[in-house]
Structure 1
Amino acid sequence: MRSIKAYPLPLLALALVATPVAAQDADHHTSEAEVAALRAQVAALSDQLAVLNARIDAMAQQAPAQPVIAVPTSAPAAAAPVVTSAHPVEISMGAAPEVESDDGFSFKPFGRLQLDAGWTSLPDGLGREDGFGAEVRRARIGVEGDIPGGFGYKMEIDVATGEAELTDALLTYEAGDIELTVGQHNTFQGLEELTSSRFTSFIERAAFTDAFGFERRLGVSAQYGKGPVLVQAGVFADNIADLPESSAWSADGRVVYFPEVGGTQLHFGASAHYTDIADGGSVRYRQRPLVHFTGERLINTGNLAADSEFGLGVELAAIRGPFHFAAEGFRQQVSGLGLAEDTASFTGGYVEGGLFLTSGDSRGYRGGRWNRTRPARPVGEGGIGAIQANLRYDYLELNDSDVGVLGGSQNAYQASLIWTTTDFTRLQVNYGRMEYDDAVFALPNGTRDYSADVIGMRAEFDF
């Protein structure tokens, strides 16, 4: 507001007087009395103006200061447009970025790289390949996230062989304590089989999980989880790489109870598996000596004509502080071996114990499976990471003399040393003493009972 003080009172008075004075000069009949009255009015008006100006000054002192606006001498460059969205996006960072919107969409990339090397030492005269070996064991990349309405998705490929192989491709739906899954995913065959290779205690899983052909399959499954109880079941076709040629289907189920009692995490589980094999189909059970980079399989049933499989498994595990214990067993029956009534039975299992040598570290566990180990003092943050030592006895029996199947048996005594440097990186070295009976390859003297020594090493990173 502009103050009336901008026009000095003497000038204002002069302006008010000027007209009557001029009129007086022009009209000599104006009386001196009228002039005096006019002057009195001007004086009164001046007093009123002074009071009004004082009030304006007081109001100006009480009002907040107005910003000073600087007018540039030249026009500024046009400002970049501001883009707004009805659904803001939030980006968070862990080992990989995760993009989330407030309306329920999310997107997160993930992956792993595992590099293996080592040696196999087979008996002299066996005539099988041994010595140094190496491979990219896994090189996977994938994406996962949420979709509004309780839906989720996951897709992963493995390019370790130089060709893209689809591992997981699935959609999920959560409704309270129940989760439904459609797509290619793991069936429900035991603690170690369902544990990610990033978190296992040895370079490879127990021999029976590979020998009996446990794998991801295309199917539909449901999972119920509440508190320490987990129930899983599903119906599956074959692995997506074998479709549509394969017409086999399977049904799988698993029940787990994992209470925590007095600071000890316990795990009790059981699983069942049935596969219907197409007419004219066959099965083959075989296994490498500990490491994957060797192509030698010293126990092997060969191809067996079969019409179905039925398997039962049991699981037991415990974690207390730096110590863990685990044991599993699985019995696989195969029916239709030549004659409809012929059934062969094979068994496998392991028992292991492990101990962290670094203070404050413990094996990770979550929801019925082993989980990530997070070092209490990782490398780069003033510590040396987590160091874990493990021992395992691994057994696999592929003989059933009642039906004339002689695939051999394996008794393996194994040790591993794992150095988990950070949450997402680790190094490990494994040793295995493999003792075979009735192996498929004979020594020059005809014996099929002998031993082999294996060393495997792995460097890995995941995000």
Structure 2
Amino acid sequence: MRQHSLLAGAALAAVLSLTAGSALAQTTQPARSAWKGAPQYSWGDFTIKPRGRVFVDYVDQDVDRAVGVDFSDSEDRFRTARIGLQGTWTDRWSWVAEANFIDGESNWEDLFVQYAPSDHTAFTIGNFKSLSLENLTSARYTTFMERGPFNDLIDAGRVMTFAARTGGDNWSIAGGVHGDSVNDGAPGDGDEQRGVFVRAHFAPIVAADTKVHLGVWARDRDRRDDTAFRYRVRNNTNFGARYTDAGSSPLGAGDGDVAIGLEAAAVWRSFSVQGEWATIDADLTGGGSAGADAYYVFASFFPTGERRNYKPADGKFDRVSVREPVTQGGMGAVELAVRYDAADLTEFAGVATAGEYSAVTLGATWYPWSHIRFMANYTDAENKAQVAASDVDVQTLQFRAQFDF
């Protein structure tokens, strides 16, 4: 029997018992309400609040092949449509349960319970993310519409995890073990993937106008009886095909891998820079090994005077505070950004499409107020294959209307 279903059940049971037990214990107390991006209700030490987000996208893409038919494609769609609940019990327990509903299907996103015995120490169990500065920064707050090929390659999405974390006002170290996503199929014979990870960050400068972030992480995972790991990247969008891809054959698929990543970011008033680099050493299903690496760097500027909201204790970015929202007669906030991405899969010898990827992305975002964004991104990408006939250039223009609560 696959074991991830047991861990998922334990997390769900913990959420439900914490919620129901706390509510029942305090039903004699009158409910209070407050507005925190959405209505939050409280009964004594117990709180509950709805949460969710909707991203509506339009994407237009031109694909130019070295050999073959060039084509264009476009689509308007719901990129994300989530609804859920979050809450606390005293100042030590918290929980989140959120699902995504797209194209007639539903999947769990964040689904976890956390116990924090002190201000900077926490234990978390459930389905959540653990690695990388941009990956841990919510998609509600990332500077660009998509996290890019770096995030595709490291494959550090939400999986069933037990993590422990400690830290201080400007540093943290976290580690734990993980399995599959709670959404990965029905239980069956065999063992799910297993992994161990650690991430540490330090903010050496935390001042009113200047903040600096440094981070490092590592992960070791084994697929066990799961499908082999794949190493591939998209064109700074989740729309369309992947043209830089090590494939699923024994030449490009992994039984297990070790990944190491570095993080850096700096904010100076309305200007910020951020970058990450990661390398992966994969044990191939057909024997031998191969490596891949990726990095990105971007710069951002708010001509309207806002600044990216860095959280030095957590080592990630949070919601931008709009100085003059349209709800108060202002014009909102404007953010302009430019990004460079690169990935190298050429060590997967014998796979024609396991080449090099590079791209430049320009971005502009308008925030009417802090919970609404309108975004535009343009990416010019090159997929250089190991066989020139497989080279593909991709230009992508995409727009997003975003609301969250």
Q: TM-score by structure 1 length? A: 0.76
Cα deviation for residue 286 of structure 1 reads 1.8
Code of the aligned partner of 2:196: A
Distance in 1 of aligned mates of 2:181 and 2:302:
37
2:228 to 282, 303, 318: 282
- Structure 2 matches for 1:370-409, cutoff 5 A? 370-400=317-347, 403-406=349-352, 407-409=354-356
Give the 5 Å matches for 1:326-345.
326-339=274-287, 342-345=288-291
Letter in 1 for 2:289: T
**Please, which of 133, 138, 141 is the counterpart of residue 199 of structure 1?**
141
Instruction: Give the TM-score normalised by the residue count of structure 2.
Output: 0.86
What SS is found at the alignment partner of 1:433?
A: strand
Provide closer, same or farther for how the CA distance between residues 450 and 242 of structure 1 changes in structure 2, counting only shifts above 3 A.
closer
Structure 1 vs Structure 2 CA RMSD: 2.0
Partner AA of 1:105 in structure 2: F
Listed as ranges, the gaps of 5+ residues in structure 2 are: 1-25
2:201 aligned to which of 243, 253, 256? 256
Report 1:446-461 matches (<5 A).
447-461=389-403
Aligned partner of 2:51: which letter?
A: F
Could you give the per-residue CA deviations for residues 10-58 of structure 1, whole angstroms, max 9, x where no partner exists?
xxxxxxxxxxxxxxxxxxxxxxxxxxxxxxxxxxxxxxxxxxxxxxxxx
AA aligned to 2:62 is: S
- 1:126–1:356 distance in 2 versus 1, CA, 3 Å: farther
Q: Which piece of structure 1 moves more, 346-355 or 236-245?
A: 236-245
Instruction: Give a deviation string over 1:428-448, Cα, whole Å, max 9, x none.
Output: 100111012117xx8xxx633
* In the alignment, structure 1 residue 155 sits paired with structure 2 residue 97: yes
1:122 aligns to 2:122 (yes or no): no
SS in 2 for 1:215: coil
1:112 to 46, 53, 68: 53
SS of 2:134 mapped into structure 1: helix
2-side partners of 1:282 and 1:180: how far apart? 30
Which protein has the bigger helix share?
A: 1
- Structure that is richer in strand per residue: 2
Structure-1 residue corresponding to 2:19: none
Deviation at 1:201, TM superposition (A): 0.9
Which of 208, 213, 232 lines up with 1:267 in the alignment?
Answer: 213
Q: Give the aligned residue type for 2:224.
A: A
Q: What secondary structure, in the 3-state scheme, does the structure 2 residue paired with 1:211 have? A: helix
Measured in 1, the distance between the counterparts of 2:195 and 2:27 equals 47
User: Residue 17 of structure 2 corresponds to which residue in structure 1?
Assistant: none
Greater relative contact order structure (CA < 8 Å, 6+ sep) = 2
List 4+ stretches of structure 1 deviating above 6 A.
none
Q: How far does the alpha carbon of each residue in 1:63-82 deviate from its partner, in whole angstroms, 9 at most, with x for none?
A: xxxxxxxxxxxxxxxxxxxx
Q: Given the alignment of the two structures, is residue 301 of structure 1 paired with residue 246 of structure 2, yes or no? A: yes
The 2-side partners of 1:138 and 1:414 are apart by 21
2:124 corresponds to 1:181: yes
Distance in 2, Cα, partners of 1:415 & 1:297:
20
The aligned residue for residue 312 of structure 1 is 260
Unpaired runs of 5+ in structure 1?
Answer: 1-83
Cα distance in 1, alignment partners of residues 27 and 175 from structure 2 = 42
Query: Which deviates more from structure 2 when the two are superposed, residues 296-305 or residues 416-425?
Result: 296-305
Cα offsets for 1:67-110 (capped at 9, x unmatched) = xxxxxxxxxxxxxxxxx9742321111321001122x1110101
2:310 paired with 1:365: yes
Task: Give the secondary structure class of the aligned counterpart of 2:152.
Answer: helix
Which residue is equivalent to 1:353? 299
> How far did residue 392 of structure 1 move?
0.6
Amino acid at match of 1:210: D
Distance in 1 (alpha carbons) for counterparts of 2:231 and 2:70: 19
Q: Tell me how far 1:123 sits from its aligned partner.
A: 1.3
